[in-house]
Chain A
C-alpha cells in the first residue's frame, strides 16, 4: 500500500500554529503511551491501558504524517501494528515486549526532539524495527504473513473473476426474476485504484452508494469478500433499480477510488448462447462512462524531493513560543472578572461626573457665599448706623439674620452630595481592589499547570534506572495535582530528575544490603508535592542508607570546601552535598555521578527563587526538600528603606529580622558581625554596597537575616517598611550586571524599588571569605 502525500497549501511553512499544536499533542500522546505501558508492565491484562496506548500511537501516526514527518509516521505505524496485535490478544505482554515498546517510544521522542530542533532523525532504526517486526512475526504467526497472502488471494481472485467474467444464463435469469416490476438489472463493472490509501474500502463504498438507488442483487466477488481487507481490482455489481444510467453512474464517480467503470443493461438471451466475454463486448455501445484517470501516481512520484524541500522550510518555522492548555472554566472566570471591572470602570466614570458636578455647584455656591459676605461687610456700617439711630440690637440682629441666613446653608447641598459621592467612591474602589486581586489570581491560575506534567516522567525514569542498577525500587507519587506556574514547572524538571536519580543511585541500596539491614528488598522513593502559602514544596524521599555525616565532612575538608576546624551541625553537613564538586558516591555511575553534583540542582532552584534542604537519618533514608514560589512573576517581599531608597527583599529568603544597637556589631577579621542567639552572622551594609548616602543612623539599626540552606548573612538597613506582593519587572541591559539586584518593581505610590538578589549577595560574601582564607594561609606559609 502506498501512502500518497500531496503538498497541501494549508500546511504552508508559515503555519507555525499548526506545528505548535502538533508538538503539544504529540507530547501528550507520548506521555499517555509511556504511562500506560508502565501500567501494562505491572498488569498485562489491563485492556484499557492497551486501548489507550493504541489510540495514542494511532493519533501520533496520523498527526505526524500530516505534518510530513515521514520517518516518524512510518515508524509509529509499525508500532501501531504491534499494538493492534496486542489488543487482539495475538501478542502477549511479556517483559521483553514492554522493553521493545519503551525503546520504541524513546526513539519516537528522539525523532520528535530532533524535529523540534529543525533536524530529521537519520540514524539506522532497523534494529528496533526488526525487533518490532519479530514481535509481529514471532508471536502473531498468522498476522505476519498478511501481506504476502493478501496479494496472493488477490491474484487468485482476479483470475477467478476473469475466468467467468459473465454469469451463466441461468444466473442471469435468476437475477432478472428477482427484480421487481419496472426495475431493470444492470451489470456494473468497476475498476478500483490500487494506489489509493485503504484501497480495500472502495468496494464497500460503491456498494453503499448503489444500495441507495436500488437493490444490489449480487456482487463478484461475494459481498463477504468485499468486507475483508483485501484489494479487488475489479468488482462487478448487479443492481436492480428503476433509476437510469446517469443516476447510477453518478454513484460511481468517486475520484481517487474508482478509476474506471462501465454500466450495462442485463438482458436475458433467449438464444441461450454463450455468455462470456463476447457478450460483454456486444454491449460495448452501452458503456456509459470512462471517468478520468487518477493522477495519484504522478503525485507520488514527485513526493520525495518535494516533501524533502518542504520539510526544511517547516523546520525553520519551528515553534518558538510555548503553548498552554487552559481549562475553559478558568477563562470564563476571568471573563466574569473583566466584565466586573468594566462595570466598576463605569461606576468610577459616574463618580467622576458626580465630583465635577459637586465642583460646579461648589464654585457657584462659593461665588454666592463671597457675594453675600461682601454684602454683609458692606452693610455693616449701615447696621451700625441703625443701631446708633435707636434700633435695638435685637432688631438689627433679626434683620441681619433674615438677609444673610443663606450663609449658613449655602454649602449644605454640596456637602451632602460630596459625602454620598465619597461613600460611593470608597465602596467602588474596594470593589476594584477585590476584582483586581481576583484578576491577578485568575491570570496566575491560567499559567498554573498540575505538577503531574513532570511527575509523570518519573515512573519510567525510576524503572529504567533501577533496572540498570539491579535494584528493586517502587516509586510513590503524592500530590501530583498540585499546581504551579508553567514557567516554573519547565525549569523544575531537570533538578527533579537529578534528585530522583540521586536517590535511586546513591540512596537506595541493592536488595541484598537492604535485606541485611532488615528492610524490605524493594526500596521506596517518594515524590511528594504540596502547597504551603504561596510556595510549593516538593519532597524527594527515599528509604535508603541515608547520608553519612562523617563521610560528607571528611570529603568536604578534603576538597577544601570547609576548614578542618569548622564545627558543623548535622544539617550543615547535609547541606554540604550541594556544594560544587561534591559527590559522595565513591564510584561514578552512569545514572547520577556524571561530574555534575547536586550543586546544579541548588543553582537551578535558587534561580527560581527557591531553596533546597536536605534531611537524613543514617540507615533510614534521606529527604530532599525543594521549596519554590508558585510563580515567578509576583513575589512576596519585605520592603526596607536605605537612605531615601526603598529595596525589596524576597520573603522566601528572609529568615528573621533584628533591631540592633551599633554597639552590638563586633569586628572579626576586619568583618562586621553580630551574634544572633548562638550564631555569628556577618553583616553587609547595603548603603555601602549600593553606595547610598545615609545620615548617621540613629540609636538603632535594623538587620534582616537572609539565607538559603546553611548560608546566612545579615543585611543592614535603615528601617523596615513591611511585607507586600510585588510584581517583578526585569531590568534590561546595563542594569542587569549590577551585583545583588534581581529586578525592579513599582510600588503602589509609583516609586520604583529594586529587588535584592539574595543568592548573589551570599555568593559575594562567600567569595570574600574564601579569598580571605587563601590570603591568610598564604601569609602563614
Chain B
C-alpha cells in the first residue's frame, strides 16, 4: 500500500503569501486605477496574502498606512496618481515608519521615477503590465 510519502502532495505547499507561522502577509494597495488594484489584489490573494486596505491616491495611501500600522506588512504603490504621487507618498510613509516595505508599481517608461523611488527607499518595483509570476517574485523578495 502506498502512503502519502510516495506522493508528495502539491497541496502541501504553503501558500507564498503566508509567513512561517501560517499567518497571511498583509498588504496595502495604493493605485488610482481600480483595474490595477483589482489585478494586484487578485494575484496576491490567490497566494494567500491578505489585502488589508486599498487607496486611490498617494495621500489616501499614506493615511491608510498610518491607520493600519503596524498591521501591514507591505505596500504596493503606483507612481502616477492624482493628489499625491507615489514618490511623495513613499517619502511620507518612510518618514512615518522607516521600516516600511514599499514596492513601486510603474508603467514602462518611468525609469527615472523608479530610480528615484528606489534611492529613497522603496524595496522593489513591479512593471506594468503586471505579470503574476513577476509580481509574486518581487513581492516575496521584498518582504523576506
Q: A interface vs B, CB < 8 Å? A: 1, 3-6, 8-10, 17-18, 21-22, 25, 55, 58-59, 61-63, 65-66, 73, 77, 80-81, 84, 197-198, 200-201, 204-205, 207-208, 211, 226-227, 229, 253-256
Contact of B35 with A6 in the complex, beta carbons under 8 Å: no
Whether a CB of chain A sits under 8 angstroms from the CB of B66 is no
**Residue from the list A25, A61, A254 in contact with B35, Cβ < 8 A:** A25
List of A residues within 8 angstroms of B133 by Cβ:
6, 8
List of B residues within 8 angstroms of A253 by Cβ:
141
List of B residues within 8 angstroms of A201 by Cβ:
111, 114-115, 118, 125
A665 to B115, CA, bound (A): 88
Contact of B33 with A59 in the complex, beta carbons under 8 Å: yes
Q: Distance (Å) between the CB of A475 and the closest chain B CB?
A: 27
Contact of B118 with A21 in the complex, beta carbons under 8 Å: no
Contact of A205 with B118 in the complex, beta carbons under 8 Å: yes
5 closest cross-chain pairs (CB), A and B: A8-B132, A65-B129, A66-B129, A204-B115, A208-B118
Whether a CB of chain A sits under 8 angstroms from the CB of B52 is no
Known contacts A25-B33, A198-B110, A229-B112; A18 and B132 CB within 8 A of each other: no
A531 to B134, CA, bound (A): 52
A-B contact pairs, 11 of them (CB 8 A): A5-B129, A5-B131, A18-B35, A66-B128, A66-B129, A77-B109, A81-B109, A200-B111, A204-B115, A208-B121, A208-B122
**Residue from the list A5, A9, A66, A198 in contact with B114, Cβ < 8 A:** A198
List of B residues within 8 angstroms of A226 by Cβ:
115
**Residue from the list A18, A61, A227, A229 in contact with B39, Cβ < 8 A:** A18
**Residue from the list B42, B46, B80, B119 in contact with A55, Cβ < 8 A:** B80
Known contacts A5-B129, A25-B35; A80 and B119 CB within 8 A of each other: no
List of B residues within 8 angstroms of A1 by Cβ:
108
Q: Distance (Å) between the CB of B71 and the closest chain A CB?
A: 23
Known contacts A5-B129, A10-B39, A198-B106; A62 and B111 CB within 8 A of each other: no
List of B residues within 8 angstroms of A5 by Cβ:
129, 131
Contact of A10 with B35 in the complex, beta carbons under 8 Å: no
A254 to B130, CA, bound (A): 17
Contact of A198 with B127 in the complex, beta carbons under 8 Å: yes
List of B residues within 8 angstroms of A63 by Cβ:
33, 35-36
Per the 8 Å Cβ criterion, residues 19-44 of B in contact with A are 32-36, 38-39, 42-43
Which residue of chain A is the closest to B46 with respect to CB atoms?
A10
Contact of B132 with A10 in the complex, beta carbons under 8 Å: yes
Contact of B108 with A3 in the complex, beta carbons under 8 Å: yes
A6 to B135, CA, bound (A): 12
List of B residues within 8 angstroms of A211 by Cβ:
119
Encoded as 1 (CB less than 8 Å from any A CB) or 0, chain B from 131 to 144 comes to 11110010001000
Q: Distance (Å) between the CB of B55 and the closest chain A CB?
A: 14
Q: How many of B's residues come within 8 Å of A, CB to CB? A: 37
Contact of A65 with B115 in the complex, beta carbons under 8 Å: no
Contact of B107 with A61 in the complex, beta carbons under 8 Å: yes
Q: Distance (Å) between the CB of B92 and the closest chain A CB?
A: 19
Contact of A21 with B111 in the complex, beta carbons under 8 Å: no
Contact of A198 with B108 in the complex, beta carbons under 8 Å: yes
A197 to B114, CA, bound (A): 12
Whether a CB of chain A sits under 8 angstroms from the CB of B124 is yes
List of B residues within 8 angstroms of A81 by Cβ:
109
Q: Distance (Å) between the CB of A644 and the closest chain B CB?
A: 54
Contact of B36 with A204 in the complex, beta carbons under 8 Å: no
Contact of A205 with B124 in the complex, beta carbons under 8 Å: yes
Contact of B34 with A25 in the complex, beta carbons under 8 Å: yes
Interface centre among B39, B121, B141 (most CB of A within 10 A): B39
A171 to B22, CA, bound (A): 50
**Residue from the list B36, B109, B114 in contact with A80, Cβ < 8 A:** B109
A8 to B46, CA, bound (A): 12
Q: Distance (Å) between the CB of B76 and the closest chain A CB?
A: 14
Which residue of chain A is the closest to B42 with respect to CB atoms?
A10
Q: Distance (Å) between the CB of B25 and the closest chain A CB?
A: 18
Contact of A255 with B35 in the complex, beta carbons under 8 Å: no
A253 to B138, CA, bound (A): 11
Q: Distance (Å) between the CB of A249 and the closest chain B CB?
A: 14
Which residue of chain B is the closest to A253 with respect to CB atoms?
B141
Q: Distance (Å) between the CB of B129 and the closest chain A CB?
A: 4
Contact of B35 with A198 in the complex, beta carbons under 8 Å: no
Which residue of chain A is the closest to B135 with respect to CB atoms?
A8
Known contacts A3-B108, A62-B128, A204-B118; A256 and B35 CB within 8 A of each other: no
List of A residues within 8 angstroms of B38 by Cβ:
17-18, 21
List of B residues within 8 angstroms of A22 by Cβ:
35
Known contacts A66-B130, A204-B118; A21 and B107 CB within 8 A of each other: no
List of A residues within 8 angstroms of B115 by Cβ:
201, 204-205, 226-227
Interface centre among A4, A62, A197, A226 (most CB of B within 10 A): A62
Q: Distance (Å) between the CB of A205 and the closest chain B CB?
A: 5
Q: Distance (Å) between the CB of B51 and the closest chain A CB?
A: 14
Contact of B110 with A66 in the complex, beta carbons under 8 Å: no
Known contacts A6-B133, A18-B35; A65 and B43 CB within 8 A of each other: no
Q: Distance (Å) between the CB of A314 and the closest chain B CB?
A: 14
Which residue of chain B is the closest to A231 with respect to CB atoms?
B111
List of A residues within 8 angstroms of B46 by Cβ:
10
A10 to B135, CA, bound (A): 12
Q: Distance (Å) between the CB of A30 and the closest chain B CB?
A: 14
A18 to B35, CA, bound (A): 7
**Residue from the list B35, B43, B80 in contact with A21, Cβ < 8 A:** B35
Which residue of chain B is the closest to A68 with respect to CB atoms?
B129
Q: Distance (Å) between the CB of A71 and the closest chain B CB?
A: 14
**Residue from the list A21, A197, A254 in contact with B108, Cβ < 8 A:** A197
A227 to B42, CA, bound (A): 33
Q: Distance (Å) between the CB of B86 and the closest chain A CB?
A: 13
A6 to B118, CA, bound (A): 25
List of B residues within 8 angstroms of A4 by Cβ:
131
List of A residues within 8 angstroms of B119 by Cβ:
204, 207-208, 211
**Residue from the list B43, B107, B111, B129 in contact with A58, Cβ < 8 A:** B107
A229 to B113, CA, bound (A): 11
Contact of A256 with B137 in the complex, beta carbons under 8 Å: yes
Contact of B112 with A227 in the complex, beta carbons under 8 Å: yes
A255 to B144, CA, bound (A): 15
Q: Distance (Å) between the CB of A21 and the closest chain B CB?
A: 5
Q: Distance (Å) between the CB of B131 and the closest chain A CB?
A: 5
Which residue of chain A is the closest to B137 with respect to CB atoms?
A255
List of A residues within 8 angstroms of B114 by Cβ:
198, 201, 204
List of A residues within 8 angstroms of B130 by Cβ:
8, 66
A205 to B124, CA, bound (A): 7
A493 to B38, CA, bound (A): 30
A211 to B133, CA, bound (A): 27
A208 to B142, CA, bound (A): 13
Known contacts A10-B46, A25-B34, A59-B33; A205 and B125 CB within 8 A of each other: yes
**Residue from the list B82, B111, B137 in contact with A229, Cβ < 8 A:** B111
A81 to B110, CA, bound (A): 12
List of B residues within 8 angstroms of A200 by Cβ:
111
A6 to B43, CA, bound (A): 14
List of A residues within 8 angstroms of B32 by Cβ:
59
Known contacts A25-B33, A255-B137; A62 and B107 CB within 8 A of each other: yes
Interface centre among A63, A207, A253 (most CB of B within 10 A): A63
Q: Distance (Å) between the CB of B114 and the closest chain A CB?
A: 5
A772 to B46, CA, bound (A): 71
Q: Distance (Å) between the CB of B144 and the closest chain A CB?
A: 9
Using A5-B131, A197-B108, A204-B118 as known contacts, list a sample of 19 further A-B pairs with CB atoms less than 8 Å apart, ordered by residue number in A: A3-B129, A8-B131, A9-B132, A10-B42, A18-B42, A58-B107, A59-B80, A62-B107, A66-B35, A66-B36, A66-B129, A81-B109, A198-B111, A201-B115, A204-B115, A205-B124, A226-B115, A229-B112, A254-B141
